[in-house]
Amino acid sequence: MLGVILEKIVLVASRAVKPKDTHYYPEKNPDVRKKPEKFRGRHFINAETCIGCYACERACPIGAIIMVPTGLKRPRAMPVVNLGRCCYCGLCEDSCPTKEKSIYLTEDYDIVVEEVELTPLLDELWAKPVGDITKNPLVVKDLQKQKQQKEGK
């Protein structure tokens, strides 16, 4: 019994002098930015390649993806990801059918916000499509078609 008590005392004392395993962020400890291999962080969604197929939205096991209408004929909608709800499983990336993945998880985890209770409402907690949608091949094709139809009249 005494041995167990002594063991506990030694354990507590050793923890008291050991450096902390937790870090202040983002003010201190830049080393905390080192990520493990294959880290899955904030999504990148490419507006220039997404075909609006809904596969990522359907693959998401917890409804963290919403398809937002583009107002165009094609792609009809593009995904936005609620980073506060996401569990970073990567299934959306796996399901994306485009040659160069139109949605993928980057190594960026810097989504710190001060007001935790407000996080679902904060704009920066949504990963949105990035890039010039007018360069999207579907949009280019449809614009060309429209132009040809006009010229044909």
**Which positions lie near ligand SF4, rule CB under 6 A?**
45, 50-56, 59-60, 62, 64-65, 79, 81, 86-92, 95-96, 98, 102-103
Looking at beta carbons only, is 102 or 139 nearer to ligand SF4?
A: 102
Smallest gap from Cβ 33 to ligand SF4, in A, equals 21
CB of 130 to ligand SF4, least distance (A): 12
46 in Cβ contact with 130 (< 8 Å): yes
User: If we measure between CA atoms, which residue out of 137, 142, 129, 130 comes closest to residue 72?
Assistant: 142
Report the nearest approach of ligand SF4 to the CB of residue 145 (Å): 21
- SS3 assignment, position 147: helix
* Of 98 and 134, CB closest to ligand SF4: 98
Beta bridge partners of 65: 81
CA distances in angstroms from 31 to 22, 24, 27, 42, 108, listed in the order given = 12, 11, 11, 19, 14
List alpha helices for the chain, DSSP H.
2-17, 55-59, 91-95, 137-152
Nearer to ligand SF4, 53 or 125 (CB): 53
Least Å distance between CB 110 and ligand SF4?
17
Cβ proximity to ligand SF4, 72 vs 89, nearer residue: 89
